[in-house]
Every structure is written in C-alpha cells, then in structure tokens.
Structure 1
C-alpha cells in the first residue's frame, strides 16, 4: 500500500488544482514570463480545455493568475501561442500600450478544429476574444490545430505554423486577423509515422547565421509507441520551412518518457523551451493529490556540432545562481533536500543511484554507447498498468560523443531532468518515491558535485 505524501515539485510549475497538459501562449513582456497552459480546473483528469495562466520573473518561482480563456460556442480552448504585438499591427492596442495577441485552436465537441484569436491590453491579465473568430477556418481535415505564431523576418509580417495531420501548414498575416496559407512541410523528410502536434519554428544563431529549428510533438512517435518530440534543422524562406540539414534518422529532443508538447517563449532574448512533464499513457493516474501534471524546466537551446553534424543542445535555465554554489561530494553522501542538482563527469562505465530509506532506487547508467535511466525500482508504480511495465521504465539515449562524458541531473521531488554531454542528449522522467531520496552512491571513475536548490 502506497504511503501518501506530497509529490508536488518545488521548481517545476504545477497547477494549484485540477488538470494541466500542453504549455500554450508563452511570451515574455516587460521582464515577465507569461506561461499559459491547457487546464481543466474542475477535475484532475482531462476535460473541456481552458487556458490557465502563470507568471514568473526567473523561470523558477511562478505566480498563479486567473484563468485566461474559457470555452465558448466555437468549442474548447485547445493549444496555441501568443505574441507581443509591439507595433500594434493588429490595432487591438495602441503604440503606447501594445497588446498581447493569443492565437489558439477552437475545438468543437463534434471535432471541428479552427483557429481563433484573443487580445489583452493589460499585459495578459484579461483577454477579449475577437468577433472575427475563427480567423483560420478548417480546410476540411481532422487534426488541424496548435498554431505557433512568430515574426517572419523575410516578409516582415507575422507567420504561424500549425499541425495538420502528418505535416505542418504555414500561414502569414499583416494584422493577426487575416491569414493566407504560404506552404507546407512533411511528411517528406520525416522518418517516423504519427500524428503531428504542437509545432514550433524558431531561429538559432550559429556561427553568424540563423539556422531554423522546427519542433514537432508526435503522439505515437517511434517504434516503441512513446510520445516524443522530433526536430528538424534548416531554413525558412518566408513561406515555408526547408530541411537543409537532413538526417538519416529522427532527431529527438528528449529521450525520456515525460517531456511533450514543448514550445518556446516568444519575444524572449534567449531561445527558451518548456514542455509538459508528463506522458499521455498514464497522466490521469499519477498519485498526486488535488492536481495533475507539471511543466518541465525552461531549457535554453543552442546549436553545436557533433561529428560534423549540427545538433541541438539544451541547458536548464534559471538555475545559474544555484549551479555556481555546487560543491564536491563523496560516494554515499546523505542528501538533505528533495530539490537539487548534480554535476557528474567521468570516463568509462558508471552507475549512479539515488536511494531512499525503503530501498527504492532511481538508477542512471553510462556506457561507451548509451545513457540509461531506470525507474523500475524508483518508487510507487502500481497506479498504472503502463507505468509499471518495462516498456515505460527504462529510457535510453545513444551517446553522441566518445570518450570522457559529463551529465547534469536536476531532481525535484518527483521529476528528474538529465542533460548529457553538454546537453546534446536529454532524458526526462517522473518517479514517485514513497519517502524522499536521501542518499547518492555511484560506481565508476567519477567526479560528482551537488548543488542545492532553494525554492
């Protein structure tokens, strides 16, 4: 019988109550990060979707705000995005007080999906829906959703990318109200089958040039049926994405089970990406009290070369002041906090283990060829027939670099985010230890530093 305890993470955002899934409408305005998200406030399972809202100045401490968008006659408020319309191109604000424009999917109970907009003139506290909705009507297909708007530097206008079954569509607009379709990408260039969801398109500067990154979440993304996020690298010609850096294999953004629907903050100085730290296969059964779901940490994205191939790299954002206070620890060290980071460097095979007083263990293995996170014995798991299977217990990432290696692990009560080899691989996984992990041990030639995170 599970011992009940509070599994709510301290630095990973979670709703005060009710259900949450996909991040939505993430935008940075006047020093504040606005985080909207799919929310059902009346139960801890999925229901008619609203947009929840939270704000932060440091990506670690979040303040809950009133619900931003409620369902209406066009349907539930499904996923979408928001932009800070600094030039007031929409004319929903003024030049002195630019509006935030949200664009989202209206999902009718009969399945019809169309795109709608809403605007805020008080920095995201209240939104008014446009009388023009829907601003992008359905072209006669299912799975037509999740618009992610961005500034188009080629046409000097707004563009958006949205999911359309096994591909993405691109649209452009001068005013966020009137949209024209400009192109498509996929399924050519994609190596796995599945419905595409929650796309995002953004540039990252690399060696003086902008490389465009297209991220797509996939409900059944791989041969093992896991929900995963794939990314493509290339160019944006103002009309559509071009995959000019093709790969013979899928590029996965995270090899864990618990990072999905991740998108970036519009208008932020850095490329910052946050996802839903959960998995559709067992999200509604997790043993959390009064709420369900959490976000991942924000990740600062960059590009690097590995064996001559461009690769995304990620680092946890907002933890810099804690990381600077890291200190070396010995094997079998006692841990006195449930929220901490570990910086590990080593060579050769290694095993790292987080343990608690009832014998539960979260294990991380490193070999010459792969990095593995094993939650088989990590804690309570009988709440879900999926969660307790081997298929959903062991995450593996193939190593992209040879020789010596480094890991950064951020653990927060019930969720682990692992960044391997300067962030070119990531593994996110939730666990439910029945008592807190209080010891760390390892085998192998390792140097380990700990930093405590005071939330």
Structure 2
C-alpha cells in the first residue's frame, strides 16, 4: 500500500494557493482587511464594517489576515444583506473561505449569492460552524458578465462568516491531501459522531470520482466508514480536502481488505429485523425503485460515511422477494453537479435513450443534482444515470443535466411509460405545493406539459389502478411526499384532478415510491420511516415494509387507496397462536404466546360506547367505537368503516409498529423503540362489551438470518 500525506505549508493560505498576493492576479473581490467595506452596500441590521478575526471564538480556525465579514455569530438574530461592488466575471470560479449555518436546510435564508442584472443566478450555503472551509461557485457560463457578490442573511437563527472572496480558474482546496496506490478492497474513514464535518474530494487518476462528508476529530473513532474500491484496483487515487487548516483524524484513513467490526453488522440489538436498513450510515427516501428480470431494486438516499444527512449517495439493495435484501455498493455518488437527491428509475424497453449495448434492457435512473450541497455550488438540476447490466454497474449520462434549473429547489424526478399516449412522462416537484409534468420520446429531452397544485411537497409519483378490480374502470393517482394524493384522469400530458386530496398513510411514512415495472400489474410501495428511536447506533433510519396498493370505493363513495403488507412478508412467519370467540373485560386477556417480532391479525366486535385496548410490547393501541378512531402514541386516525366489526393487522419490529385497519383503508407507521423485555400482548375492553371474533399471532424470523 502506498499512502502519502501532502501538506501545503504557507504563511497565508490564499497567497500560496494562487501563487501570489497581488490582488489583481488573485482576482480578489474582497479580503476585508480594511475597517470599512468600501464600495459595499448593506440592508437591514448588517453594518459596513469588517469584523476582527482575533475576536472570533478560538475554535474558528483558518481565516486569513486581520478581518472577515461577519453577519453575527454572536447575534444571529441580525438580518440583512451585504452587496459587493460590481466586478466582471473573468474566471471559472469564485472561491471564498466560509463558515456559518448550524442547520442542514438553512440555505434557503442564509447563503452567499451571485447577482447579475438584479437576478440571483447562483448561490452557496455556508459550511457548519465552527468549521472553516473553502467554498466555491462555478461561474463559467457567465464569463464577461458584470456581477455583484451578495451575502444574504434573512435568518434569525443562522449567520455567515466569510473571507478571501476571489476569482480563479481553479478550485481553492485544503492544505492537506492523501495519495494512495490502491491494492486493497476498502478505504476506511474514522467516524466520530459530533466531530467536525469535513468535506472531501476523491479523485481517481486526476478525475473527480466522488464528493462526501465525514465527521472526524482527534482520538478513537466511534466506528469506521468504508469506501468499496473494487473498481479502483491498481489505480492512483487522491483524497483532497477543503480545509485551510489540518484535518483532525486525516492520518487515520487507510486501505484495508476488511472493515472493522463487519462481523457485527445486522446483529446489533437495535437493528430492525424485517425492515431494510443499511450496514452503516444514514438513509432516507427510497429512490429508483424498479423491478427487472426477477430482481427488485431498492435504491435510497444514503450517507455511507456517517449518521448525518449530509451529501447524499444512492444506496442500492436487491431482493428476489421484497423481504431478504443484499446491499450493494452505491449506485450514484455526488459530483461537481451536486448531491444525488431523490428520483425514480425505469426499464427502457424500447431503447428510447439509445443507451443499450447488449441483450439486457437498459435501466435508467433519474435524480436531482442538488448543487447547493457540493463544492462548487450550483442550482438544483435534473440528471440521469444508466445501467446496461441489470443494475450491477451504473454510469452517469455525459449530457447531464437533462433539465436545467426551473425554480425553488425543483427536485425528485420520477418517470413512467404512458402506454396509451406512447410517451415517457416525468413528474417533478417545483416548490411550495407545485408540481410539473414533462413528456419525452427519448428520456433525455423533456417538454413541460402541465403544472399541478396539491397539498403536498417533494417526491411525486404517478401510477394507474383498477377501481375495485375492474380493468374497464382505471384511475390515475398523483402522489405527494407527505402521503396526500389525488385521483383523476391522465392522458399523458394533462392530469385532471377529480375531487379532493385523500390520505391513507399516517405517522412516520414519508417520501413513498412505487416500483416501476412490477410484475402482474402490482403497485408495490415503500416509504422512509422518518424518525429513529436509537440515537447511538452506527446506522440510522429505516424503510417501511413493502405494501401492495389498491384502489377501492370507500364506504362514503370515494375512490381511495388501500395499503396492505405484501404477501411475501408471510414467508417470515414461524410459530403461531390462533383463538376464536374471545370475550373481553377490564381484566386483561393475555394469550399464552411470546415473541419479539410479531404479526398480529385481530377481528374485533366493538359495540357503541365501547373501547378496545390492545397492549403490544407494553404500549396501548386503542380503538374507540364512538369516535371510530384508532390511536397509538400521539397519533389518532379516523377510520372509514363505521361498523361494530373492525379488523387490524399489526406488525412489530425492534424499531417500529405498523397498523393496518380494515384491509388497509388506513395505515399507521411509527418508528418507535419497543420494550425489548416485554414480549406479550394484552387485550381489554372498557364501556360497552367488546369481543375478539378471531385472534392470530405469528412470530417472525429475521430477514437478516442469512447474513
């Protein structure tokens, strides 16, 4: 193994980086070394005075010289803007040293901007305070234009500290880098939760391969993150930072053929046993769900380098049964266009994109290049990648992005083939409550055809279902990230909404997506359970179970979605308890059955004024007949079926409880940590008498048993 740590030693980082301290050669816009910000304009609470570097907290390291621009680290409630004098864009990048935001999504109201002719054309958020790093904005498309640099702080919680704003044809990078000749399978990173969030660039033989963030600090790490280098063998790689000071923990990064504690993966006491989780790291939205040649592909938002949201990769897992999953290396990694945010995937049966190379049909994935989160920063645009070997390897399309910035944080492209119109359709979130629909013949060139307003945001999905199983009465569904959906007609270009928005899924069920090309005309949906009950694990967040989605006429006459666990889940069932005609009182009925992982089926008869209480692993699930509601924890849902007979399916894992009511007319998903020592269930009745017509309890095997 060859490992080289290079340090760039300098008195003034920026002088060494650009090779000179002559401001004209630097393309210097401002270094804030004068007391007054000459030529700058201010609004709001912000003053035109530089801030003395010596007054910054001692843990803020890396700024150059005696002064910086500071919107108020000690008074973040201050708001306003600071705008530079005009300058002509004559270099590819604007580089700057920066820190500030404490929150992940603060870029909406706390950022730095490039303004041309009164329009904000690009912007970048600060890094995490107190870490100081180089930031950059790519301005190559605006060469020759006259611009202003604006510091925009309209947040009462966040702030910006910035220095050394200058133009250059090269990115400003950190004072340290690592070089390796790859001879082993993994590159290992020491993760220290709560450490400084250092940004890295991984280059392979001079070309950018990946951007990512790792929390690191001095001392022993909490665990080791890993990069699979199977496709890098024999290559020269370089790990570069954006830090103007030494990176704590950098010297601990090394090559290895083994991942420390890999034998403990999926054996952790907090690990969900039949819900998908990654080996390590943070996960959220399911992405690129597609079925092809007997394989279900589950891709998902993933930070493989830590348990914070940070720069998103697309994780990738595969299954033949929606129950047993194998995690593969990431299918997408962040690049200079941005973090890889959510989107969908299709099988290009007709080779519309012209990317097929052999007999296998091409898989095409659509995703948002979230440019705010990478360096250099840019707008959110839409991109594609493709696989010609059924998802084993993926390539990014050379013509990315395929859709330029539209508005807001436009994102989450999802695509389907509209058979009647013989056209590809993309749904895309725009901003606020607005979505858009596009058409394409080739999956790369897209035309806007419709805009939709609905009470939802993010993660759209469009799919078609038979109403009440009638293939002659098919309806289209437009789905939003929060689970609200509308029913309507759709000719491939315009979506005509019928009636009001509905909601079937409640609780922590978010950013759900259906599998493209699912067999037997199934609509199979999976969501992210967006809370996590165990803060100390080295893996964070989980997916819901997979659900079969159907469209039925509700008791009040509306077409609504029903959601029910996929049949494949029953393959995990082992021991069982079955009993009929159980009379309930206030004295608990406790079945002679214990299990850690449970699948319960309850058919209850609850008269008016009656309350049925089902205590599962120590927590009560309550059905109130007069209210016709089911409640668990802080959630309460009104049901559609207003009848004395109620049916409940309850799934219990180590980190979740999922409740399906009356065949799936309503479903509640909660990420909760159940009592590990309480493996019984109890049933009681209050008020009018309640009975259980039938009770089935199954213990479940772990889906990770083969790991």
Under TM normalisation by the shorter chain, which class is it? 0.7 to 0.9
Which residue pairs with 2:274 in the alignment? 11
Distance in 2, matches of 1:85 and 1:278, equals: 31
Q: Which residue of 260, 275, 290 corresponds with 2:510?
A: 260
Task: Describe how 1:98-177 pairs up with structure 2 within 5 A.
Answer: 98-109=361-372, 110=377, 112-139=379-406, 141-165=407-431, 166-177=433-444
TM normalised by structure 2 equals 0.55
Distance in 2, matches of 1:160 and 1:324, equals: 43
Q: Which residue of 569, 572, 575 corresponds with 1:319?
A: 569
Contact 1:304 1:313 (8 Å CA) reproduced = yes
Aligned CA distance change for structure 1 residues 297 and 261 (closer, same or farther; 3 Å): same
Distance in 1, matches of 2:358 and 2:489, equals: 32
Q: Note if 1:293 corresponds to 2:293.
A: no
Higher radius of gyration, 1 or 2: 2
Distance in 2, matches of 1:148 and 1:335, equals: 45
Q: Which residue of 428, 431, 438 corresponds with 2:669?
A: 428
Task: Describe how 1:40-439 pairs up with structure 2 within 5 A.
Answer: 40-94=303-357, 96-109=359-372, 110=377, 112-139=379-406, 141-165=407-431, 166-186=433-453, 190=454, 192=455, 196-206=457-467, 207-208=470-471, 209-217=473-481, 228-244=482-498, 246-247=499-500, 250-256=501-507, 258-269=508-519, 270-279=522-531, 283=532, 286-287=534-535, 289-306=537-554, 307-317=556-566, 318-321=568-571, 327-329=577-579, 331-348=589-606, 349-355=611-617, 360-375=618-633, 394-403=634-643, 404-439=645-680
Q: CA deviation at 1:111?
A: 6.1
Aligned CA distance change for structure 1 residues 325 and 338 (closer, same or farther; 3 Å): closer
| Per-residue CA distance 1:398-444 (angstroms, 9 max, x = gap) | 11011111011111112111110110000001211342431100113
Aligned CA distance change for structure 1 residues 61 and 366 (closer, same or farther; 3 Å): farther
Q: CA deviation at 1:66?
A: 0.7
Distance in 2, matches of 1:111 and 1:212, equals: 35
Q: CA deviation at 1:324?
A: 10
SS class of match (1:313): strand
Q: CA deviation at 1:364?
A: 3.4
Which residue pairs with 2:699 in the alignment? 452
Q: CA deviation at 1:19?
A: 0.2
List runs of 5+ in structure 1 lacking aligned partners: 218-227, 376-393
Contact 1:264 1:271 (8 Å CA) reproduced = yes
Distance in 2, matches of 1:111 and 1:298, equals: 35
Distance in 2, matches of 1:106 and 1:263, equals: 19
Aligned CA distance change for structure 1 residues 205 and 363 (closer, same or farther; 3 Å): closer
Contact 2:630 2:639 (8 Å CA) reproduced = no
Q: Tell me the C-alpha RMSD between the 2 structures.
A: 1.9
Aligned CA distance change for structure 1 residues 47 and 415 (closer, same or farther; 3 Å): same
SS class of match (1:319): helix
| Per-residue CA distance 1:150-169 (angstroms, 9 max, x = gap) | 00123212111011112110
Distance in 1, matches of 2:612 and 2:518, equals: 38
SS class of match (2:343): strand
Which stretch shifts more, 319-328 or 83-92?
319-328
SS class of match (2:327): strand
Which stretch shifts more, 333-342 or 306-315?
333-342
Contact 1:334 1:438 (8 Å CA) reproduced = no
Distance in 2, matches of 1:439 and 1:325, equals: 14
TM normalised by structure 1 equals 0.85
Q: CA deviation at 1:135?
A: 0.2
List runs of 5+ in structure 2 lacking aligned partners: 1-267, 583-588, 685-689, 703-707
Which residue pairs with 2:287 in the alignment? 24
Contact 1:36 1:53 (8 Å CA) reproduced = yes
Distance in 1, matches of 2:495 and 2:538, equals: 42
Q: CA deviation at 1:327?
A: 3.9
Structure ranking higher on relative contact order (CA contacts 8 Å, 6+ apart): 1
Q: CA deviation at 1:126?
A: 1.1
Aligned CA distance change for structure 1 residues 127 and 322 (closer, same or farther; 3 Å): closer
Aligned CA distance change for structure 1 residues 324 and 80 (closer, same or farther; 3 Å): same
Q: Which runs of at least 4 in structure 1 moved beyond 6 Å after TM superposition?
A: none
Contact 1:373 1:427 (8 Å CA) reproduced = no
Distance in 2, matches of 1:234 and 1:288, equals: 45
Which residue pairs with 2:240 in the alignment? none
Aligned CA distance change for structure 1 residues 24 and 436 (closer, same or farther; 3 Å): farther
